[in-house]
Amino acid sequence: MTQLLAIDALLIAACAWLAVGLAGLAAPRNLRFISKTLFPVGALVGLGVGLLALFSLGQRPETAVLAIGLPDLPFHLRLDKLTAVFVMLLGFVSVGISIYAAGYFRKGEGTAPGLLCLEYHVFLASMLMVLLADDAYAFMVAWECMALSSFFLVTTDNRHAEIRRAGYLYLLIAHLGAIAILLSFGVMTSGSGDYSFAGMRAQELSPFWASVAYLLALVGFGAKAGLLPVHVWLPEAHPAAPSPVSAMMSGVMLKTAIYGLLRVSFDLLGTPLWWWGVVALAVGLATALFGVLYSTVQSDMKRLLAYSSIENIGLIVVGIGLTLIFHAYKMEGLAALALTAVFYHCLSHAGFKSLLFLATGSVLHATKERSLGKLGGLIHRMPWVAWLALVGVIASTGLPPLSGFVSEWLLLQGFLFSPGLPHPWLNMVVPIAAAVIALVAALAGFAMVKFYGIIFLGQMREENLKEAHDAGPWEKAGLVWLALIGFLLGLFPSSVIGVIDGATKQMLGAGLGERVREQGWWMLAPISAERASYEPLIFLVTIVLSVYLGKQIVRRLYHGRVRRSPAWDCGYVFQSSRAQDTAEGFSQPIRRIFEPAFRMDRHFPTGRDEKPYYTVKVEDHFWHWLYVPVARAAEFVSKLITRLQGGRISVYLMYSFLTLIILLLVARP
Amino acid sequence: MSSVPLSAQLINLFASVILLMAFAMLAQRRVLPLINLFAIQGAVLAASTGVVAVTTHQAHLYWSAGLTLALKALLLPWILHRLVRRLNVKWDVESLINIPTTMIVGIVLVVVAFNVALPISQLSSTISRGTLGIALASVMLAFLMMITRSKAIPQVVGFLAMENGLFLAATSATYGMPMVVELGIALDVLVGAIILGVFFFQIREQFDSLDIRHLERLKDS
């Protein structure tokens, strides 16, 4: 074959990532070479991957067979449009994160830089292979590579016991999920022994077995994505990992799980049943509400973002549920609307959540502090990081004109059409979900105001924050890249929808492309211009103009000088910057209102305390309801089994003897 | 009974002697007689294999008969005798369960073994097929001896006696295993006995006794 196909080029890119990683092993302690040469090369490869995927979105599906693997069991690969959307996400987001990582890693932070470089690039390459895999075998191999490489990345700073614990929890749940996925694939082959995806598509499963496969896939991919109740690893692992790794895991790895869920429920299983959508909708809503509630009450900045990731994954799964419901009732136009919202939210979340995690990385390096209660006022010392983080925060809260607004708006548009469903209960119950989503969006706004306000605004809560410095040039470049993605997705939704439309068409046979293209690039009206439309540029212009004019008017009317003076001190004699609203205090109303949702452990000071202190510890109900009982049961059973080991040789011999006798008696010819 | 040829009668006789020896070992309390009984069992086994070899003219069976005689009737008992003298453990063997109970359990085992072996021996076409039940019974009796003894040397004797039973089963069901396998097993048994001998010294050095109940302390807690 003389012509180089896109899939071959992607394979070369995967090999290039692996080569970059191995090159890091050649000089594991040479930080300069690794960070200033290898990571930028990795970013270039990522750019190539993104552009290739963008190109292949307009092409026909391509397949390839790799000659590696077990004998007679080669790796099948396929690049179709669904894959291309997610590969594009991986490529473009990894560019920003790799550039940032070039400036981020320092000496003496756990794992040697060379090893870290290897793990990071293996992680990237295995995510690419997960997306390209076209048989269960290749998929699982890549999936496990991804889980293992990310495990080692999470435990980079393995000197701390809590980080090792977080890594262990992550590995445990990742494997639980992998088992569920493997079983799901097993059900889908329905005993034919053909583990290629093409073979699974050809199988006609009975509704019962199709449902079993779907539910197993939901559990398995849910464990990776952080769906309730297998989310507990996520708020532990994300704060434990170095920031570029958290960004990569939250921005991209969670999306591979979404990809898997989409692949199984729309592509491999054929026509869905309507209640699958309801299950996904319910789980997604519960996850979104849970995630956002917990993110509002966190006082560790990375943990707050991790819970916010749970919330966003919840929203994405809600979108998948809605798509499944519409698809099951053959309302393909609306299904396409919901699916577009899913893709859009995947892309926008990948952009803004990576941006925010990277921003926390810069703050962490500048201040050595993760706790919100000891930060504050950093916008004066770190203007670049602060303004770029503001872009991420606005996108994350779903405000126009940035990316988060478009996806959440599309999702709500989808919900507005759910009364048209031909099912008496669904068309009444599903709109309620829209109300919950509105609540989630509002609470997400609250969490983000807390995140941004306490870190960057106000006064510095600690003396040493005065020495904080802004991010270096590489870090700034990475943040700028991700912020540009946020702007691009927010300002040109019609063009973006036109690009990802191919994937929607491939999966549902319908898309928004034509309708959106007719209206031109400046405006987005997914159903019809009379019903609802959104012109992001008008929003941007309005916002910029009103801010500018407002500032000018104030300057003209007032005297135009900036004056700094102490705030009103309420009559207190001593006033320090510690008297500002704390992270705990800020979220206290939410904690009050939603009290049953939290498991709180509070200590109030009394009047007689020598050293009065106040603590509040918010814990997860699920940990005590689900995980602790399971762990206790496992311990109990293992204790019972330990009794078999009495230490007496005669008893051990007796076991074999009895087994022999029983086998002889039972296994008669 | 006249229809049964002499060779078959001889084989059955030897087989029953082997079973008798197995019971005798189960009942024997003292170490040196136990080893002697084991030697007799080995010799009878060799004789039985020899008879099968003469009757069926299988060349390799001569070899295995000779090997059995040399190894199980002479070499191993000699090694064990030396061990006992060197370790000075000639006193009585205490068993965990008292001897009469063990004998009753042994009888039950023989009944089970015969019943289990019946369908297999009907499938077989060898001259010595009737002895399969006896072979299985002696394997089980040897196993039982390993379970009920608390000292290390009787356990090793039980292990070796079990191998005797297996050998008898192999000859009676299929005229023996291939020569290579047989040589391998013979070597394994020899090496096993030597390694266990080394262990005995180690155990005694550690605990000042060969009572394997001391090993209970070795488990995970």
> Does the pLDDT value for residue A259 go beyond 90?
yes
pLDDT tens-digit series, residues A140-181? 999 999 999 999 988 888 788 888 888 999 999 999 999 999
pLDDT of residue B217: 67
pLDDT of residue B176: 65
CA distance B85 to B81: 6
Contact A246, A274 (CB under 8 A): no
Which of A645, A649, A668 shows the shortest C-beta gap to B220?
A645
- Half-sphere exposure in the Cβ direction for B107 (13 Å, CA): 5
Virtual torsion, Cα B45, B51, B55, B61, nearest 10 deg = 50
Residue A430: burial class (beta carbons within 10 Å; 0-12, 13-18, 19+): buried
pLDDT tens-digit series, residues A605-647? 887 878 878 777 888 888 888 888 888 999 999 888 888 777 6
* For A668, nearest residue in chain B (alpha carbons): B116
Q: Region B166-185: what's the mean pLDDT?
A: 75
Q: Which residues contact A636 (CB under 8 A, 6 or more apart)?
A: none
Contact A473, A348 (CB under 8 A): no
* For B122, nearest residue in chain A (alpha carbons): A669
Instruction: With CA atoms as reference, report the closest residue to A281 among A232, A225, A334, A320.
Output: A320
Look at A129 and A401; give whichever has higher pLDDT. Answer: A129
pLDDT tens-digit series, residues B87-141? 777 666 666 778 888 888 888 888 888 888 877 777 766 666 668 888 889 988 9
User: How many Å lie between the alpha carbon of B146 and the closest alpha carbon of chain A?
Assistant: 7
The residue behind tokens 């960004």 is A247
Say how many C-beta atoms besides its own lie within 10 A of residue B178's C-beta. Answer: 10
In the structure encoding, which two tokens stand for residue A362, read together? 């810069």
- Half-sphere exposure in the Cβ direction for A548 (13 Å, CA): 6
Q: Region B183-205: what's the mean pLDDT?
A: 76
| Cross-strand partners of A75 | A66
pLDDT tens-digit series, residues A393-406? 999 988 888 888 88
Q: What is the ipTM of this complex?
A: 0.79
Split at pLDDT 50, 70, 90, the class of A668 is low
Split at pLDDT 50, 70, 90, the class of B3 is low
Split at pLDDT 50, 70, 90, the class of B1 is very low
Q: Which residues of B touch A669 (CB under 8 A)?
A: 119-120, 123
User: How many Å lie between the alpha carbon of A657 and the closest alpha carbon of chain B?
Assistant: 7
Number of helices (H) and strands (E) in chain A: give both, helices first: 27, 4
pLDDT of residue A145: 92
Residue type (1 letter), A162? E
> Does the pLDDT value for residue A29 go beyond 50?
yes
Split at pLDDT 50, 70, 90, the class of A593 is confident
Q: How far is CA B84 from CA A538, B154, B155, B157, B198, in A?
A: 102, 11, 13, 12, 13
- Measured at the alpha carbon of residue A563, what is the angle toward residues A558 and A567, in degrees to the nearest 5? 115
Report residue A3: phi and psi, to 5°.
-80, 135
- What secondary structure letter does DSSP report for A74? E
Q: Where are the beta strands (DSSP E) in chain B?
A: none
First-to-last alpha carbon distance for chain B, in angstroms, is: 61
CA distance A207 to A634: 34
A474: helix, strand or coil: helix
* For B96, nearest residue in chain A (alpha carbons): A650
> Does the pLDDT value for residue B9 go beyond 60?
yes
Q: Does A2 touch chain B (CB under 8 A)?
A: no
Q: Which residues of B touch A642 (CB under 8 A)?
A: 220
CA distance A233 to A171: 9
A566 Rama class: left (phi>0) / alpha (psi -120 to 50) / beta: beta
Q: Mutate which of B147, B210, B213, B214 to test chain A, going by most A C-beta atoms within 10 A?
A: B147
Q: Which residues of A touch B119 (CB under 8 A)?
A: 668-669
* For B159, nearest residue in chain A (alpha carbons): A653
Report residue B28: phi and psi, to 5°.
-75, 130
Helix (H) or strand (E) holding A66: strand A62-70
> Does the pLDDT value for residue A73 go beyond 90?
no
pLDDT of residue A495: 84
Q: How far is CA A197 from CA A138, A200, A265, in A?
A: 10, 5, 13
Say how many C-beta atoms besides its own lie within 10 A of residue A427's C-beta. Answer: 14
A371: helix, strand or coil: strand
Q: Which residues of A touch B212 (CB under 8 A)?
A: 649
* For B137, nearest residue in chain A (alpha carbons): A661
pLDDT tens-digit series, residues A345-391? 999 999 999 999 999 999 988 888 888 888 888 888 888 989 999 99
| Cross-strand partners of A77 | A64, A133
User: How many Å lie between the alpha carbon of A667 and the closest alpha carbon of chain B?
Assistant: 9
Say how many C-beta atoms besides its own lie within 10 A of residue A223's C-beta. Answer: 25
* For A665, nearest residue in chain B (alpha carbons): B116
Report residue A62: phi and psi, to 5°.
-120, 145
> Does the pLDDT value for residue A568 go beyond 80?
no
Split at pLDDT 50, 70, 90, the class of A79 is confident
> Does the pLDDT value for residue A1 go beyond 50?
no
User: How many Å lie between the alpha carbon of A649 and the closest alpha carbon of chain B?
Assistant: 8
- Half-sphere exposure in the Cβ direction for A49 (13 Å, CA): 34
Report residue A68: phi and psi, to 5°.
-95, 170
Q: Mutate which of A650, A655, A656, A662 to test chain B, going by most B C-beta atoms within 10 A?
A: A650
Q: Which residues of A touch B112 (CB under 8 A)?
A: 661, 664-665
Which of A647, A654, A665 shows the shortest C-beta gap to B147?
A654
Q: Which residues of B touch A646 (CB under 8 A)?
A: 216, 219
Which of B140, B146, B219 shows the shortest C-beta gap to A647?
B219
CA distance A668 to A310: 56
Strands A599-603 and A73-79: unpaired
CA distance A10 to A24: 21
Split at pLDDT 50, 70, 90, the class of A2 is very low
pLDDT of residue A661: 86
CA distance A86 to A75: 20
Q: Region A561-581: what's the mean pLDDT?
A: 74
Render A163-225 in DSSP notation, one character per residue.
Answer: HHHHHHHHHHHHHHHHHHHHHHHHHHHTTS---BHHHHHH----HHHHHHHHHHHHHHHHHHH
pLDDT of residue A199: 84
Q: Mutate which of A657, A658, A660 to test chain B, going by most B C-beta atoms within 10 A?
A: A657
Which of A650, A665, A668 shows the shortest C-beta gap to B147?
A650
Determine, for residues A645 and B143 on separate chains, whether the beta-carbon distance falls below 8 Å: no
